Amino acid sequence: MNSRIIPITLAVVSDEERERLISIVKDMPMARIQPDEAEDMGVLVYEPGPSADEDFPHIFHALESGQAEDVFLVGEAPDPDLLIRAMRHGIREFLKAPVTKEDFRAALMRTALRESLEGGGPRGRIISVLGSKAGLGTTTLAVNLACAINERTPGEAALLDLRQPVGEVPLFLDLQYEFTWGQLLDDISRLDSTYLRSAMAEHGSGLHVLPAPEARGGENGQEMFLILEHLRQAYANVVVDASPMEDDLLPKAVEQADIILLITDLAMPSLARTVKLMDTLRAEDPDTERRIRLVANRVTKNSGVDLDEAQKVLEMEFFGILPEDYSTALSSINQGIPWLSTAPKSQAAKEFRRVARELVPEDSRQGGGGFSLSGLFGKFGRKNEAVEHDGEARVSA
């Protein structure tokens, strides 16, 4: 399949559904309707009719031969036996009719992701830095942690700025840049490892950075998923400066993270918010304890709540403890120079490097696992099931 423009072949019985799908595809720069006479079907969208049993062998042959890259089954109430049979032959997608643009686009994103990551080798890890609320120094930690990790794995560390409405990572690094992840989303059909690498800004330290666009919200989760997975393929370690969660909705950067650095200070409102946020994470993933690392920031001797009390409230020990050092932090930000460089011998700089050592072993690439398509489908409320298609149906549709 063309990695930039995905061909779509329609084998749909309903004229109304066919016209709807044509309209959806026409609005997508990453896809186009394939002519009936073309040998390459690309993605075959098939609505089973009375001839489904006869069509199946043709569909399976098209998948096995590579004539069809993927198959989407479309229907109102699919027969369970039909779906099981389809799944056994590698058909993954079922789209409930009438198909929405959002569902169709999400399915295409999964197809593109499977294609781009197929045989991709070891995967890097995503480390998402998340504040329990705004104003806790999340960007300071994300920037300096990324720099510390880059010291350990030069050229293999990336920093993704997902802060909204305005990302601040470039200010912390006095970084000039040309592209943001907003432009990647605007041209998502072009996204591959080469394009991604070319879009990254490089800091003087060698750290690669993907800045945030200004005031851009409501991003398609599947598209951000694709960017994160490509970053994971391109770099051994990806540090993400994540926006605080809103309405207990789990951001993609947290959902896909191998490690979640959860930041709090020792004030009771922050601790209470952290408890709530941890409960949300546990509800989404019962095994989330293995991913969370708590970090206490701006710790002072006379805060009113000491570290032991805070750990009892949170029912978890702190992984990192950063002391209050307002003057150094402000100087670092105003100069656009990482804390590790402005005050390399400070207690905070030592702690940044210690946390980096703990998080990044000698070989930080993962040999596999972590991300699974079945888990992704479940999170989006879709069935990990799919479809039937065939070359004959394509001609007769």
DSSP H helices, 306-390, are: 307-314, 326-335, 339-342, 347-359, 373-379
Give tens-digit pLDDT for 318-345. Answer: 999 999 999 999 999 999 999 999 999 9
Q: What is the pLDDT of residue 380?
A: 25
Q: What is the pLDDT of residue 205?
A: 93
Domain boundaries, the chain: 6-119+376-396, 125-367
Q: What is the pLDDT of residue 2?
A: 37
Tokens (6 digits) for 362: 């000698």
Residues sharing a CB contact under 8 Å with residue 252, sequence separation 6 or more, in sequence order: 221, 224, 225, 228
Question: Distances from the Cα of 83 to the Cαs of 32, 78, 87, 231, in angstroms?
Answer: 26, 7, 6, 33
- Report the candidate in 160, 384, 367, 344 with the shortest Cα–Cα distance to residue 257: 160
Q: How many CB atoms lie within 10 A of CB 171?
A: 15
- Report the candidate in 164, 147, 159, 70 with the shortest Cα–Cα distance to residue 111: 70
Tokens (6 digits) for 29: 């720069």
Q: What is the pLDDT of residue 60?
A: 87
Q: What is the pLDDT of residue 6?
A: 87
d(CA 98, CA 310): 51
Judge whether 6-119+376-396 and 125-367 match in fold: yes
Which CATH number applies to 125-367: 3.40.50.300, 3.40.50.2000, 3.10.20.30, 3.90.550.10?
A: 3.40.50.300
For the structural domain made of 6-119+376-396, what CATH number should be given? 3.40.50.2300
Each residue's pLDDT tens digit in the chain (397 positions)?
Answer: 434 588 999 999 889 999 999 999 998 877 899 887 777 889 999 998 888 888 888 898 888 888 888 999 998 877 778 887 787 777 878 899 999 998 998 888 778 766 665 555 567 899 999 998 888 999 999 999 999 999 999 989 999 999 888 899 999 999 999 999 988 888 777 777 788 889 999 999 999 999 999 866 555 566 787 788 889 888 999 999 998 776 556 677 787 888 999 999 999 999 999 999 999 888 877 767 888 999 999 998 887 789 999 999 999 999 999 999 999 999 999 999 999 999 999 999 999 999 999 999 765 444 433 322 233 223 223 233 333 333 333 322 2
Q: What is the pLDDT of residue 375?
A: 30
